[in-house]
């Protein structure tokens, strides 16, 4: 993070280039992102499912952009998103709950 609390270009590149070869790598990436996420209460985990809300924070929006630039991550783990900057990530085959916007 820089002095203003925004992710650095190196941190964003790390997210973009993170190898998605296993479920353990997925959780490791999400742990890394959780450390960068502004407003901890907008980043939650329930088993293999993570819910992230950007809260309008520019740094959080940059992180979501980097996650989207990691094509394999996005293909394997993006479950849903909705207006207002709310995202749900889970392995393929994980059922969405009603709270996930399904």
From first to last of its 102 residues, the chain has per-residue pLDDT tens of 887 779 999 999 999 999 999 999 999 999 999 999 998 889 999 999 999 999 888 999 999 999 999 999 999 999 999 998 999 999 987 665 544 444
Give the closest residue to 90 by CA, choosing from 45, 53, 55, 60. 45
Residue 68 near residue 47, CB atoms below 8 Å: no
For the sheet with 78-82, list strands across it: 43-46, 49-53, 86-89, 78-82
Q: What is the pLDDT of residue 2?
A: 80
Domain ranges of the chain: 9-79
**Contact between 84 and 56 (Cβ < 8 Å):** no
Q: Which two tokens stand for residue 54?
A: 């950007």
Q: How many C-beta atoms surround the C-beta of residue 86 within 10 A? A: 16
């Amino acid at each position: 993070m820089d002095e203003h609390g925004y992710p650095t270009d190196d941190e964003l590149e790390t997210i973009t280039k993170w190898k998605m070869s296993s479920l353990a790598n997925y959780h490791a990436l999400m742990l890394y992102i959780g450390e960068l996420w502004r407003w901890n209460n907008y980043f939650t985990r329930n088993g293999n499912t993570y819910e992230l809300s950007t809260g309008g924070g520019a740094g959080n929006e940059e992180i979501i952009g980097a996650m989207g630039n990691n094509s394999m991550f996005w293909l394997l783990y993006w479950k849903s998103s909705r207006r207002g900057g709310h995202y749900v990530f889970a392995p393929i085959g994980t059922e969405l709950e009603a709270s996930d916007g399904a």
